[in-house]
Amino acid sequence: VSYGELNRRSNQLAHYLRELGAGPEVVVGLCMDRSVEMVVGLLGILKAGGAYLPLDPTYPQQRLSFMLDDAAVNVVITQEHLRDKVETSAVRTVSLDRDPIEGHSTENPEPAASSANLAYVIYTSGSTGIPKGVMLNHKGLTNRTLTMIDQYGIQSNDRQFQFISLSFD
């Protein structure tokens, strides 16, 4: 997929998510296998101004349900074969491989979030009891990225291989 196509598809999802109420301080779940659709989902949530909650499809059902409830998630972006892992009466699921988003605008949405707004929520392992949600804002994420660029001398033509789970900070 080209960067242009990735941008268009994530813009369509962002516009759709805004119709569903996504925006600053609204947490949207993301339960997907590693795929282009996962990247579309992640970018779509951020472009809508929302914060993403990564939901690893390999997690036990009880943990996923706890995270959805604890983070007060109303919408989850998923794939059809994973829908049953996150579908509840309180959560609306959007399957990117089934639910059409093509009718929505491909234009970049107007920015809705600021650096102080929530970017994502990551849950601890729960090894000492109940897992806890750790909330990170855009400013913290930006500071971390700038530090990595400075520490490792990353240039615009460098590439990084992402090999860890999206659910790991």
Which of these ranges, 56-60, 106-110, 154-158, 163-167, has the smallest mean pLDDT? 163-167
The predicted model gives 55-83 an average pLDDT of 94
Look at residue 102 in the predicted model and tell me its pLDDT. Answer: 85
Q: What is the mean pLDDT of the chain?
A: 90
Query: Phi and psi for 32 in degrees, rounded to 5?
Result: -145, 155
Per-residue pLDDT tens over the stretch 7-48: 999 999 999 999 999 999 999 999 999 899 999 999 999 999
**Reported pTM:** 0.89
Q: Are 41 and 13 in contact (CB under 8 A)?
A: yes
Look at residue 51 in the predicted model and tell me its pLDDT. Answer: 97
Burial 66-85 (b: 16+ CB within 10 A, else e): bbbebbebbbbbbbeebeeb
66 has pLDDT over 70: yes
